[in-house]
Copies of this chain bind each other. A is one copy, B any other.
């Protein structure tokens, strides 16, 4: 956590608060930073409010009051992470775009720091409706942004008109998620390219 990112978070997300003063934002920043740190160090299984509170210097009662528990913290952290602007890569071909998206996705989840929050929220979604809703919103937004790659492919004539872009993206990333969190198999570059190639083949066949 650099000082710049700290200040950045302090400026953002002050909506809906009756008193968005310096202290409120300060505690939020400290708690979320501590959450990320604890998550990266110990993982979701051992993520506890007490540790986060102690690490952030904020009392645990405050954390329980504002976030309700670990799930709430994760939801807030996910919203924070997805706040920044993000645009899909543009390599010139649909296969290239989807491959790049998949590679970025895999790299993100493989990295113990960057992947900790999304992984934890996926796990928390099994228990918490709030986490489930946050996940859905996050990925719908992501797929919407990625769909432009398919739109470009349609304009190039590579893919039938009327193809649902978000569906193609979903199909492209699904095998990676499947290996990572369902069948729990190792995932490599071969899976990245194969999944993208399969989505392209299905799209060209007019499945979506």
Is A12 part of the binding interface, using a Cβ–Cβ cutoff of 8 Å?
A: no
Is A81 part of the binding interface, using a Cβ–Cβ cutoff of 8 Å?
A: no
Is A31 part of the binding interface, using a Cβ–Cβ cutoff of 8 Å?
A: no
Oligomeric state, in copies = 2
Interface of A is mostly: helix
Question: Considering only CB atoms, which chain B residue lies closest to A43 in the complex?
Answer: B127
Given contacts A123-B126, A197-B202, contact A175 B171 (CB under 8 A): yes
Q: Which residues of B contact A122 (CB under 8 A)?
A: 126, 181-182
Residues of chain A in range 107-160 having any CB-CB distance to chain B below 8 Å: 119, 122-123, 125-128, 132-133, 135-136, 139-140, 143
B182–A127 contact, CB under 8 A? no
Min CB–CB distance A120 → chain B (angstroms): 8
Is A183 part of the binding interface, using a Cβ–Cβ cutoff of 8 Å?
A: yes
CA distance A136 to B187 in the complex (A): 13
A201–B205 contact, CB under 8 A? yes
Min CB–CB distance A136 → chain B (angstroms): 4
CA distance A175 to B140 in the complex (A): 14
Which 7 A-B residue pairings sit nearest by Cβ, starting from the closest? A198-B202, A201-B205, A123-B126, A174-B178, A45-B127, A174-B174, A139-B183
* Interface CB pairs A-B, < 8 A, 21: A45-B126, A45-B128, A119-B126, A122-B181, A123-B126, A126-B181, A135-B184, A140-B183, A140-B185, A143-B183, A170-B175, A170-B183, A177-B177, A181-B182, A194-B207, A194-B208, A198-B198, A198-B208, A199-B202, A201-B201, A204-B205
